[in-house]
Amino acid sequence: MAIVRKTFLPGEDLFIEGQQGTEAYLIRSGHVAIWRTDNGTRVNIAVRAEGEVVGEMALIDDAVRSATVTAESRVEAETITRQQLLDLVDKAEEPLSRILHQLFESLRAANDLISAYASQISRITPGAKHS
Protein backbone atom coordinates (compact mmCIF):
# COMPACT_ATOMS: atom_id res chain seq x y z
CA MET A 1 0.00 0.00 0.00
CA ALA A 2 1.53 3.30 -1.12
CA ILE A 3 1.48 5.91 1.62
CA VAL A 4 1.13 9.52 0.52
CA ARG A 5 2.28 12.20 2.94
CA LYS A 6 0.73 15.67 2.93
CA THR A 7 1.50 18.90 4.74
CA PHE A 8 -1.18 21.40 5.72
CA LEU A 9 -0.45 24.90 7.00
CA PRO A 10 -2.42 26.60 9.80
CA GLY A 11 -5.86 27.61 8.54
CA GLU A 12 -5.76 25.21 5.60
CA ASP A 13 -8.68 22.80 5.24
CA LEU A 14 -7.95 19.10 4.95
CA PHE A 15 -11.49 18.74 3.66
CA ILE A 16 -14.80 20.63 3.72
CA GLU A 17 -18.26 19.66 4.96
CA GLY A 18 -20.43 18.48 2.07
CA GLN A 19 -17.56 17.33 -0.15
CA GLN A 20 -17.38 13.74 -1.30
CA GLY A 21 -14.85 11.87 0.80
CA THR A 22 -11.99 10.18 -1.02
CA GLU A 23 -9.36 9.78 1.67
CA ALA A 24 -8.75 9.75 5.40
CA TYR A 25 -5.76 11.26 7.19
CA LEU A 26 -3.56 9.82 9.92
CA ILE A 27 -2.13 12.85 11.71
CA ARG A 28 1.60 12.39 12.26
CA SER A 29 2.21 15.84 13.78
CA GLY A 30 0.20 18.94 14.60
CA HIS A 31 -3.49 19.26 15.38
CA VAL A 32 -6.74 19.98 13.56
CA ALA A 33 -10.17 21.35 14.44
CA ILE A 34 -13.29 19.47 13.37
CA TRP A 35 -16.30 21.73 12.90
CA ARG A 36 -19.63 22.13 11.15
CA THR A 37 -21.68 25.07 10.00
CA ASP A 38 -25.15 25.54 11.47
CA ASN A 39 -27.20 28.50 10.24
CA GLY A 40 -24.00 30.26 9.23
CA THR A 41 -22.34 29.71 12.60
CA ARG A 42 -19.23 27.60 13.14
CA VAL A 43 -19.90 24.82 15.65
CA ASN A 44 -16.71 23.21 16.96
CA ILE A 45 -17.02 19.46 17.40
CA ALA A 46 -13.55 18.20 18.33
CA VAL A 47 -9.80 18.56 18.08
CA ARG A 48 -7.60 15.74 16.77
CA ALA A 49 -3.83 15.48 17.07
CA GLU A 50 -0.84 13.22 16.48
CA GLY A 51 -1.76 9.56 16.13
CA GLU A 52 -5.45 10.22 15.45
CA VAL A 53 -7.40 9.76 12.21
CA VAL A 54 -9.87 12.13 10.55
CA GLY A 55 -12.11 11.52 7.55
CA GLU A 56 -12.60 7.81 8.06
CA MET A 57 -16.40 7.78 8.00
CA ALA A 58 -16.71 9.04 4.44
CA LEU A 59 -14.47 6.22 3.26
CA ILE A 60 -16.78 3.56 4.64
CA ASP A 61 -20.27 4.81 3.87
CA ASP A 62 -19.68 6.73 0.62
CA ALA A 63 -21.50 9.76 2.08
CA VAL A 64 -20.38 13.36 1.86
CA ARG A 65 -18.17 14.84 4.56
CA SER A 66 -20.16 15.54 7.71
CA ALA A 67 -17.76 18.25 8.92
CA THR A 68 -14.87 20.48 7.92
CA VAL A 69 -11.39 19.72 9.23
CA THR A 70 -8.96 22.63 9.45
CA ALA A 71 -5.28 22.61 10.41
CA GLU A 72 -4.77 24.57 13.62
CA SER A 73 -0.98 24.21 13.36
CA ARG A 74 1.37 22.84 10.74
CA VAL A 75 0.04 19.33 10.14
CA GLU A 76 1.92 16.39 8.67
CA ALA A 77 -0.46 13.58 7.68
CA GLU A 78 -0.51 10.29 5.83
CA THR A 79 -3.45 9.45 3.59
CA ILE A 80 -5.43 6.31 3.05
CA THR A 81 -7.76 6.19 0.07
CA ARG A 82 -11.16 4.57 -0.16
CA GLN A 83 -9.71 1.90 -2.46
CA GLN A 84 -6.91 1.08 -0.02
CA LEU A 85 -9.44 0.73 2.78
CA LEU A 86 -11.80 -1.35 0.64
CA ASP A 87 -8.91 -3.64 -0.27
CA LEU A 88 -8.26 -4.18 3.44
CA VAL A 89 -11.94 -4.73 4.20
CA ASP A 90 -12.31 -7.13 1.25
CA LYS A 91 -9.63 -9.30 2.79
CA ALA A 92 -11.64 -9.44 6.03
CA GLU A 93 -14.46 -11.88 6.69
CA GLU A 94 -18.00 -10.64 5.97
CA PRO A 95 -19.00 -10.20 9.64
CA LEU A 96 -16.11 -7.76 10.16
CA SER A 97 -17.05 -5.74 7.10
CA ARG A 98 -20.68 -5.53 8.27
CA ILE A 99 -19.56 -4.51 11.76
CA LEU A 100 -17.40 -1.72 10.32
CA HIS A 101 -20.27 -0.40 8.21
CA GLN A 102 -22.60 -0.40 11.25
CA LEU A 103 -20.03 1.30 13.48
CA PHE A 104 -19.50 4.14 11.03
CA GLU A 105 -23.24 4.58 10.52
CA SER A 106 -23.63 4.85 14.30
CA LEU A 107 -20.73 7.31 14.56
CA ARG A 108 -22.20 9.52 11.84
CA ALA A 109 -25.57 9.58 13.67
CA ALA A 110 -23.80 10.43 16.94
CA ASN A 111 -21.87 13.27 15.26
CA ASP A 112 -25.13 14.66 13.88
CA LEU A 113 -26.65 14.62 17.38
CA ILE A 114 -23.57 16.25 18.92
CA SER A 115 -23.60 18.97 16.29
CA ALA A 116 -27.31 19.67 16.82
CA TYR A 117 -26.82 19.82 20.59
CA ALA A 118 -23.76 22.10 20.32
CA SER A 119 -25.68 24.37 17.98
CA GLN A 120 -28.54 24.69 20.49
CA ILE A 121 -26.11 25.51 23.30
CA SER A 122 -24.37 28.18 21.20
CA ARG A 123 -27.73 29.95 20.73
CA ILE A 124 -28.31 30.32 24.46
CA THR A 125 -27.69 33.90 25.47
CA PRO A 126 -25.59 34.70 28.55
CA GLY A 127 -27.67 35.50 31.60
CA ALA A 128 -30.81 33.78 30.35
CA LYS A 129 -32.69 31.60 32.82
CA HIS A 130 -32.80 27.89 32.03
CA SER A 131 -35.11 25.33 33.54
Q: Which residues contact 124 (CB under 8 A, 6 or more apart)?
A: 130
- List, in sequence order, every beta strand (DSSP E) within 16-58: 23-29, 31-38, 41-49, 53-54
The pLDDT of residue 99 is above 60: yes
The pLDDT of residue 78 is above 50: yes
Q: In the chain, pLDDT over 90 holds for what percent of residues?
A: 43
What is the reported pLDDT for 128?
Answer: 46
pLDDT band at 130 (very low <50, low <70, confident <90, very high): very low
Q: What is the CATH number of domain 4-122?
A: 2.60.120.10
Q: Is the pTM of this model over 0.75?
A: no
Q: Which amino acid is residue 116, in one-letter code?
A: A
What is the reported pLDDT for 17?
Answer: 94
